[in-house]
């Protein structure tokens, strides 16, 4: 089993964020721990997880999990481990914001069993951070990295966002240089998307912001690819880079369609062909759990066609690729001719140029098979 815990609390909603969050001045850490452990008790003996011997990875995502009191994280980890062993070599990740990283919190996270931290950096430009509604300063990023490493948390992943509106005049190459100077083992890079129900979505509707054109999105994606691969990182998934042996094991489990259980509001779960997801709102999820009711909002079972499409999409988004026979030969020939794909050892892998077209290529391959 791979275990995901969604912690929805944030000090402020970022301008681009469409995640299930709950903005709180004070984080209800004890209540969250109570509820998520109650949900865990309901699932740990469920027939869907019969035969599960141990937990391979744990991921505290959000939201901002670093806003939880470290004692609550320790309590959750201790209870889960008592009920179902966490593998000795398990990857246990906590998402954190730089401003939440202190010597005391970092040491407490390490004692609780956290051995990997994903740090939300996004940019090293103060004006960009302000536009994003981020609550940390540029100076807090290297400070947080140093503090985490001093506490023994050396397996770090740092996030950046690219393809920002042109009027921000963000220097993408400079941000890449600054993040490389911190020598992180892992990097996640995400292109900005405009979601309807966000501050950014409203700014775009009012003409106060314009999305980056496709050409600049491609330029920045390809610059990151060349820069980071040149620095020794493996571009192993469309949005992720890792030094050798530092790929994200938890996220990789999703792309392999491994079984995972999600706890907390809006968390998703999957085993075999079955998918289900929780109530999105923190208050609604918490009420359901407190009342002893199911927090599941819906579920679906993949039919053979949907499973084939999911396997194709998940495989092509990684550098492992998919078996060559997964794509019709005429389609494959066209991709190779355009420089979007290569074939090695019976596997079809997309190039960086191909990854820029991932969604349309998957749709094309699925449609051509029909």
Give residue 176's domain range: 2-255
Q: Indicate whether 225 and 131 sit together in one domain.
A: yes
295 domain residue, yes or no: no
Give pLDDT, residue 197: 86
Query: Across residues 202-222, what is the average pLDDT?
Result: 93
228 domain-assigned: yes
**Same domain for 328 and 193:** no
Query: At which of 255, 288, 323 does a domain end?
Result: 255
Cβ atoms of residues 88 and 67 within 8 Å: no
Residue 170 lies in a domain: yes
Distance CA 6, CA 359 (A): 27
> Does one domain contain both 229 and 87?
yes
Q: How many residues does the chain have?
A: 370
The last residue of one of the domains, among 198, 222, 255, is: 255
| pLDDT interval class at 330 (50, 70, 90) | very high
What pLDDT does 368 receive? 66
Give the pLDDT mean for 117-132. 97
Instruction: Answer yes or no: do 237 and 358 share one domain.
Output: no
Please, what is the average pLDDT of the chain?
95
Kindly state the tokens that stand for 271. Answer: 């085993």
| Residue 129 forms part of a structural domain | yes
The answer on 92 and 222 residing in a single domain is yes
Same domain, 250 and 334: no
- Asked if residue 292 belongs to a domain, the reply is no
One domain, residues 311 and 200: no
Query: Cβ(266)–Cβ(20) under 8 Å?
Result: yes
Q: Do 308 and 251 fall into the same domain?
A: no
| Domain-located, residue 331 | yes
Domain identity same for 238 and 349: no
**Would you say 153 and 115 are in contact if contact means Cβ atoms under 8 Å apart?**
yes
pLDDT tens, residue by residue, 15-57? 998 888 999 989 999 999 999 999 999 999 899 998 899 999 9
The domain that holds 221 is classified in CATH as: 3.20.20.70
- Per-residue pLDDT of 75-114, as tens digits, reads 999 999 999 999 999 999 999 999 999 999 999 999 999 9
User: Is 287 inside a domain boundary?
Assistant: no
Determine how many CB atoms are found less than 10 A away from the CB of residue 204: 17
Kindly state whether residues 40 and 142 are assigned to the same domain.
yes
Question: Residue 360: inside a domain, yes or no?
Answer: yes
Q: What is the pLDDT of residue 188?
A: 98
Are both 208 and 113 inside the same structural domain? yes
Phi-psi region of 127 (alpha: psi -120 to 50; beta: other; left: phi over 0): alpha
Among the candidates 255, 284, 315, a domain finishes at: 255
370 pLDDT above the threshold of 80: no
92 and 219 in a single domain? The answer is yes
pLDDT digits (tens, 9 = 90+) for 135-183: 999 999 999 999 999 999 999 999 999 999 999 999 999 999 999 999 9
Looking at the structure of the chain, the number of domains it has is 2
Give tens-digit pLDDT for 229-279.
Answer: 999 999 999 999 999 999 999 999 999 999 999 999 999 999 999 999 999
């Amino acid at each position: 089993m791979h275990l995901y815990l969604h912690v929805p609390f944030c000090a402020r909603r970022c301008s681009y964020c469409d995640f299930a969050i709950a903005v709180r001045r004070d984080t209800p850490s004890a209540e969250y721990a109570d509820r998520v452990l109650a949900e865990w008790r309901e699932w740990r003996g469920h027939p869907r997880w019969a035969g599960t011997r141990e937990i391979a990875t744990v991921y505290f995502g959000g939201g901002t999990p670093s806003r939880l009191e470290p004692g609550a994280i320790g309590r959750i980890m201790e209870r889960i481990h008592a009920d179902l062993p966490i593998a000795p070599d398990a990857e246990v990740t906590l998402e954190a914001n730089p401003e939440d990283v202190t010597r005391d919190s970092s040491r407490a996270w390490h004692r609780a069993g956290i051995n990997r931290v994903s740090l939300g950096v996004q940019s090293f430009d103060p004006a960009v951070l302000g536009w994003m509604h981020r609550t940390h300063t540029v100076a807090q990023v290297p400070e947080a990295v140093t503090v985490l490493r001093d506490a023994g948390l050396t397996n770090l992943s740092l996030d950046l966002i690219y393809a920002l509106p042109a009027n921000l005049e963000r220097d993408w190459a400079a941000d890449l240089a600054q993040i490389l100077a911190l020598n992180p083992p892992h990097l996640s890079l995400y292109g900005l998307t405009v979601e309807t129900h966000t501050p950014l979505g409203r700014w775009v509707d009012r003409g106060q912001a314009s999305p980056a054109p496709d050409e600049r999105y491609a330029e920045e994606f390809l610059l990151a690819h060349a820069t980071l691969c040149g620095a020794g990182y493996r571009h192993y998934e469309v949005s992720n880079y890792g030094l050798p042996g530092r790929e994200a094991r938890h996220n990789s489990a999703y792309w392999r369609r491994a079984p995972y259980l999600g706890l907390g509001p809006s968390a998703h779960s999957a085993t075999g062909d079955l998918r289900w997801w929780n109530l999105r709102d923190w208050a609604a999820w918490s009420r359901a759990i407190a009342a002893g009711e199911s927090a599941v909002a819906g579920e679906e079972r993949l039919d053979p066609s949907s499973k084939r499409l999911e396997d194709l999409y998940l495989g092509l988004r990684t550098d492992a690729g998919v078996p060559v026979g997964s794509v019709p030969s005429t389609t494959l020939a066209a991709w190779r001719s355009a420089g979007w794909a290569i074939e090695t050892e019976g596997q079809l892998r997309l190039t960086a140029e191909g990854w820029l077209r991932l969604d349309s290529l998957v749709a094309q391959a699925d449609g051509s098979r029909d």
